[in-house]
Amino acid sequence: MKCQDYSLSRKTERDNLNLNPLQRGGVLPPESREALYEFSDGYSVCDYCSGRLDEIPRPSIHGFLEDMADFINVDHARTVHGAREGKFAVMHAVCRPGDTILVDGNAHYTSHLAAERNGLNIVEVPSSGEPEYRIDPVAYQEVLDNLYDRGEEVSLVLLTHVDGDYGNLTDAQAVGKIAHDAGIPFLLNCAYSMGRMPIDAKGWNVDFVVGSGHKSMAASGPIGVLGVQEEWADMVLKRSDRHHVKELEMLGCTSRGAPVATLMASLPHIIDRVSKWDFEIEKTLYFVSEMEKISGVRQIGVRPKEHDLVRFETPFSIV
């Protein structure tokens, strides 16, 4: 069989400066590029595996996951194939087909797909609309109250911490408190915040948190992070009845090889980057002020910016 020309040569990053705000967080530091080469073989992390990816001692995936759990303040951390797989695993473990979940109006499409694949009913908390598209935690309370008045229970509350359309940062702690006061588990989608800014899952009343390696954590991907608090560990990290060492929702093992190796190598870089978050916000505010000096250019989303993802309304093409 003769293969077609797949044109795998990619010089985009070498010949150009990538300014796409959705991609900058996934750019690998030098140490991760070295790990990418060393662990490029498909089973390159499996040499010392005794059945559990999260327990591999060399490379120390076990130690890495402990550090990751401390970094985002959860009791248990696992790698998954992406934030969407983390959301699906939580929904599959916690909810049952036909259950209702609450999501924000700026939710990523993968939140919808994860819920749809689990057979769940989605109720959206609306945003404020143009021009801020703000998600107000009070709106979560209002929607919950309306559902309860109709006799409908909610199995899970999901919030997009920072959305990919407007870069709005929503108060996770406030939404988490509303969910906990109602006795509902809370899932925080940090695909655009984990690895860019500080995450304090326990401090924010978060039961489950997901992050994205290729979007915000300087990993080659596909890979994501799932954080779980102890209260829910028996459900989300449940073992298989047939293969007792394997975790059911993880389908035994998740990301291995280059994705997990690059994420591990990037962790010190990520920790340092997060420590400078306040400076990143200062730069973002300056950038917005300078861009809006151009006639007709307007920042869309919550003002002032609290995140470095920015959307502009540009009635013309900027060259």
Tens of pLDDT, residue by residue over 102-161, are: 999 999 999 999 999 999 999 999 999 999 999 999 999 999 999 999 999 999 999 999
> What are the distances in angstroms from CA 288 to CA 299, 303, 306, 309?
7, 10, 12, 11
Tens of pLDDT, residue by residue over 236-287, are: 999 999 998 999 998 888 888 888 989 999 999 999 999 999 999 999 999 9
pLDDT exceeds 70 at position 66: yes
Tens of pLDDT, residue by residue over 48-57, are: 778 887 888 8
Residue 294, CB half-sphere, CA atoms under 13 Å: how many?
15
Closest CA to 45 of 265, 311, 269: 265
Mean pLDDT of the chain, nearest integer = 91
Mean pLDDT of 85-101: 97
- pLDDT tier for residue 88 given thresholds of 50, 70 and 90: very high
DSSP-based three-state secondary structure for 120:
coil
Pull the structure tokens for residue 45.
């992390």
- pLDDT tier for residue 6 given thresholds of 50, 70 and 90: low
Q: What is the maximal distance between C-alpha atoms in the chain?
A: 65
Partners of 100 in beta bridges:
121
CATH number for the segment(s) 31-273: 3.40.640.10
Residues of the chain with CATH 3.40.640.10: 31-273
Spatial separation of the C-alpha atoms in residues 126 and 105, rounded to whole Å: 5
- pLDDT tier for residue 319 given thresholds of 50, 70 and 90: low
Say which amino acid occupies 151.
Answer: G
pLDDT exceeds 70 at position 98: yes
